[in-house]
Chains A and B, each alone.
Chain A
Amino acid sequence: GAMECAVDAQSLISMSLMKIHSSRTQRGGIKLHKNLLVSYVLRNARQLYIKEKYAEIYRMQQYEEVMAVCSGIQELDPLEPLEPQGAEDAEPEQPYYRSCCMEDQFSQNCNKTTVLDLDTHVVTTVENGFLHQDCCCAAAPQCAPGAAARKRKVDSAACSPDAEEPSDYTAGRKRLKREECSGADCSPDASNISNLISIFGSGFSGLLSRQADLEQVCSKQALASLGAWTRAIVAF
């Protein structure tokens, strides 16, 4: 009914920007008080949006590393060929990735290929088809039933006495990645993530104080659209 409203960050951001824009043509001039309050909502919504986007990037990053480790393990053991198994075995560890890769109807549309270079930590994505926003394909090395099979391989490996090794290895690689990315020679994407970590660690404060920082470090891949939004808030 009339009282329903979507309380998600994105709609609040656009609603707030509309209010700021329409206030400029209101009779009596810009109401400073109202615009200040609207900018607080904008800041709150943007903070949440950035956190959610960051969490998404982080999850994708985790998945990439897991998949990279898996492919590394596969290469070491050529005696175990991949064999696609029944769909009923396809229980993903992380539910986030279930959305399209695990479902046959989408797999033929997913033509993104993302490659993680383990030496340089550079992530490159080749877009050659249908894009799903929440698609795990954006992070997966290869979007095919094969990917599902590889994932299941991890699961079965995890049940073995050697289960600890892969996860430790993954964690170790993650830590290594963070430490390496403090210098200027890091790839833009990886260093952006670590900078975001440092920002979140210190917390957000002030109305626009972090705006400049964010515009510098935000990864274009995930946060480019926000740049336009922040520029829209000009002091009145």
Chain B
Amino acid sequence: MAGVAGGNDFQWCFSQVKGAIDEDVAEADIISTVEFNYSGDLLATGDKGGRVVIFQHEQESKNRPHLRGEYNVYSTFQSHEPEFDYLKSLEIEEKINKIRWLPQQNAAHFLLSTNDKTIKLWKISERDKRAEGYNLKDEDGRLRDPFRITSLRVPVLMPMDLMVEASPRRIFANAHTYHINSISVNSDHETYLSADDLRINLWHLEITDRSFNIVDIKPANMEELTEVITAAECHPHQCNVFVYSSSKGTIRLCDMRAAALCDRHSKFFEEPEDPSSRSFFSEIISSISDVKFSHSGRYMMTRDYLSVKVWDLNMENRPVETYQVHEYLRSKLCSLYENDCIFDKFECCWNGSDSAIMSGSYNNFFRMFDRNTRRDITLEASRESSKPRATLKPRKVSTGGKRKKDEISVDSLDFNKKILHTAWHPKDNVIAVAATNNLYIFQDKIN
């Protein structure tokens, strides 16, 4: 499976875009998470308004088998509502921070969605039959007068238009004092972890009234606080292993068999800081915003403000690969601090074969890196290049003095157009890129 564009055999092209075209973006419509399910058949997005929208992949049409099918809306539901914590006088945002799918076990689909405080398990099921001919109520649901019932009949299942229902099956609440940043389903398909700034809890999917605290980094005196947990993930195959990243740019791998409380790590991943690049903002840009295991489970990838790093789980003292996402921003850190962009949390993702990685940038640019060829490409999610099956043109940011034609200078970048969330289909070359309130879907075009 090819990873990155370039060369004669592989190019990315536009497939679809979802969302309003309006220049005026409603805050609630801003997409906050994107996730394919295990088969890639379903694509879920969460937004700041607490809504979840699920797209389903349609079968390829028989007329044009060389084109992949499209993703169309499958289900939409309100997952979280704004809440108010009266004790602390705090409003709890309804923004969906993360969605994680469960592996499919029957006809229904299950996903976990979380805001800052509460995780919910949703069941998405199809209904295409309806029972008709009830005895006690008539067709529109009104109760029949018992005295009018003179005979007994057996209800019959009749076909109906497909209806997709989403219902909350479990609500996992009141377990996090701080803001939840991650959830991750374990490979045992029975448990999952949730992480906030200072603690990580382990849940059983069936049990909502209690969870186990497995990591607690809260200091006795909060004035001694020096780092927080920024992301956590379960190992894809070893159900006893998980990792969590910190604001100091370190990653800890923990083994749940070692102790009930995994405050002591099994492995500690940290790259020594380059003293020559020290600045006011060194701590901010080294903070890890995302950590993802490779599908193989052999590697993990971390994203900090300027780069993506691939780590071999067997080597703790430095990453095996480092990719610069937008190094040209290093000289602009002060301005980015002033306008708060330096706090943006970019995510990263692997392709299905772990041969390529992707992460977002500004100006609606996103970057892909091929780990084998070491080629990288910058593409843009824009309405201008949104003609059906139009090939995406590689973009370039000019860093030197002379700006070439078609290049864009650093000062012209639009820092309000940020690509924080991207997802790669688990098997095919299909990617979903969230650009503020729009979801772009790109796929490969094989000549």
Interface 1/0 per residue, A26-43 and B, CB below 8 Å:
011101111011001100
Write the nearest CB–CB distance from B198 to chain A, whole angstroms: 8
Cross-chain contact A41 with B410 (CB below 8 angstroms): no
Interface residues of A in 6-60 (CB under 8 A from B): 6-7, 12, 15, 19, 27-29, 31-34, 36-37, 40-41, 44-45, 48
Kindly report which residue of chain A lies nearest to residue B82, judged by CB atoms. Answer: A27
Contacts of A236 in B (CB 8 A): 222
Say yes or no for A3: interface residue by CB 8 A criterion: yes
Cross-chain contact A27 with B93 (CB below 8 angstroms): yes
Give CA–CA (A130, B197) in the complex, Å.
51
Please judge, given known A-B contacts A2-B411, A27-B91, whether A15 and B335 are in contact too, CB under 8 Å: no
Contacts of A161 in B (CB 8 A): none
Write the nearest CB–CB distance from A190 to chain B, whole angstroms: 32
Contacts of A87 in B (CB 8 A): none
Say yes or no for B212: interface residue by CB 8 A criterion: no
Cross-chain contact B179 with A31 (CB below 8 angstroms): yes
Interface 1/0 per residue, B329-351 and A, CB below 8 Å:
00010110110100100000000
Q: How large is the interface on A (under 10, 10 to 19, 20 to 34, 35 or more residues)?
A: 20 to 34
Interface residues of B in 213-259 (CB under 8 A from A): 222-228, 230, 247
Give CA–CA (A117, B287) in the complex, Å.
52
Say yes or no for B116: interface residue by CB 8 A criterion: yes
Say yes or no for B280: interface residue by CB 8 A criterion: yes
Give CA–CA (A29, B176) in the complex, Å.
14
Give CA–CA (A37, B281) in the complex, Å.
9
Say yes or no for A4: interface residue by CB 8 A criterion: yes
Cross-chain contact A28 with B283 (CB below 8 angstroms): no
Instruction: Give which listed residue, A2, A15, A29, contacts B88 with CB less than 8 A.
Output: A29
Say yes or no for A86: interface residue by CB 8 A criterion: no
Cross-chain contact A28 with B280 (CB below 8 angstroms): no
Say yes or no for A1: interface residue by CB 8 A criterion: yes
Kindly report which residue of chain B lies nearest to residue A7, judged by CB atoms. Answer: B334
Contacts of A235 in B (CB 8 A): 222-223, 225
Say yes or no for A208: interface residue by CB 8 A criterion: yes
Interface residues of A in 180-224 (CB under 8 A from B): 206-208
Please judge, given known A-B contacts A15-B337, A37-B284, whether A28 and B411 are in contact too, CB under 8 Å: no
Give CA–CA (A2, B409) in the complex, Å.
13
Interface residues of B in 92-107 (CB under 8 A from A): 92-93, 95
Please judge, given known A-B contacts A3-B410, A32-B197, whether A37 and B283 are in contact too, CB under 8 Å: yes
Write the nearest CB–CB distance from A197 to chain B, whole angstroms: 23
Instruction: Give which listed residue, B90, B93, B228, contacts A33 with CB less than 8 A.
Output: B228
Kindly report which residue of chain A lies nearest to residue B280, judged by CB atoms. Answer: A44
Kindly report which residue of chain B lies nearest to residue A8, judged by CB atoms. Answer: B334
Cross-chain contact A36 with B247 (CB below 8 angstroms): yes
Contacts of B280 in A (CB 8 A): 7, 12, 41, 44-45, 48
Kindly report which residue of chain B lies nearest to residue A234, judged by CB atoms. Answer: B223
Contacts of A15 in B (CB 8 A): 337-338
Kindly report which residue of chain B lies nearest to residue A207, judged by CB atoms. Answer: B226
Say yes or no for A76: interface residue by CB 8 A criterion: no
Write the nearest CB–CB distance from A200 to chain B, whole angstroms: 17
Kindly report which residue of chain A lies nearest to residue B345, judged by CB atoms. Answer: A33
Instruction: Give which listed residue, B178, B247, B281, B335, contacts A41 with CB less than 8 A.
Output: B281
Cross-chain contact B411 with A33 (CB below 8 angstroms): no
Give CA–CA (A36, B178) in the complex, Å.
14
Cross-chain contact B91 with A29 (CB below 8 angstroms): yes
Give CA–CA (A45, B334) in the complex, Å.
12
Give CA–CA (A75, B298) in the complex, Å.
81
Cross-chain contact A32 with B337 (CB below 8 angstroms): no
Contacts of A126 in B (CB 8 A): none
Say yes or no for A5: interface residue by CB 8 A criterion: yes
Please judge, given known A-B contacts A1-B411, A36-B227, whether A28 and B91 are in contact too, CB under 8 Å: yes
Give CA–CA (A201, B343) in the complex, Å.
33
Write the nearest CB–CB distance from B15 to chain A, whole angstroms: 34
Please judge, given known A-B contacts A28-B93, A235-B223, whether A36 and B228 are in contact too, CB under 8 Å: yes
Cross-chain contact A5 with B334 (CB below 8 angstroms): yes
Contacts of B179 in A (CB 8 A): 28-29, 31-33
Write the nearest CB–CB distance from A45 to chain B, whole angstroms: 6
Give CA–CA (A7, B228) in the complex, Å.
27
Give CA–CA (A167, B340) in the complex, Å.
51
Cross-chain contact A37 with B178 (CB below 8 angstroms): no
Give CA–CA (A122, B343) in the complex, Å.
48
Contacts of B226 in A (CB 8 A): 36, 206-207
Interface 1/0 per residue, A57-97 and B, CB below 8 Å:
00000000000000000000000000000000000000000
Write the nearest CB–CB distance from B88 to chain A, whole angstroms: 7
Cross-chain contact B92 with A28 (CB below 8 angstroms): yes
Cross-chain contact B247 with A4 (CB below 8 angstroms): no
Write the nearest CB–CB distance from B416 to chain A, whole angstroms: 11
Most chain A CB inside 10 Å of its own CB: which residue of B198, B224, B283? B283
Most chain B CB inside 10 Å of its own CB: which residue of A3, A19, A40, A206? A3
Give CA–CA (A15, B280) in the complex, Å.
13
Give CA–CA (A15, B313) in the complex, Å.
39
Give CA–CA (A48, B282) in the complex, Å.
14
Give CA–CA (A192, B272) in the complex, Å.
35
Cross-chain contact A33 with B247 (CB below 8 angstroms): yes
Contacts of A31 in B (CB 8 A): 179
Cross-chain contact B335 with A3 (CB below 8 angstroms): yes
Kindly report which residue of chain A lies nearest to residue B331, judged by CB atoms. Answer: A3
Instruction: Give which listed residue, B222, B224, B335, contacts A4 with CB less than 8 A.
Output: B335
Q: What are 14 contact pairs spanning A and B, CB under 8 A?
A: A1-B411, A12-B337, A27-B93, A29-B88, A32-B228, A33-B197, A36-B226, A40-B283, A41-B280, A41-B283, A41-B337, A44-B283, A208-B224, A235-B225
Q: Which residues of B contact A (CB under 8 A)?
A: 88, 90-93, 95, 116, 178-179, 181, 197-198, 222-228, 230, 247, 280-284, 287, 332, 334-335, 337-338, 340, 343, 410-411
Which 7 residue pairs of A and B lie closest in terms of their CB atoms, listed nearest first?
Answer: A40-B283, A5-B334, A28-B93, A29-B90, A5-B335, A235-B223, A32-B197
Q: Which residues of A contact B (CB under 8 A)?
A: 1-7, 12, 15, 19, 27-29, 31-34, 36-37, 40-41, 44-45, 48, 206-208, 235-236
What 11 new A-B contacts, CB under 8 Å, besides A36-B227, A41-B281? A6-B334, A27-B93, A29-B116, A29-B179, A32-B197, A32-B228, A33-B228, A36-B228, A44-B283, A208-B223, A235-B225
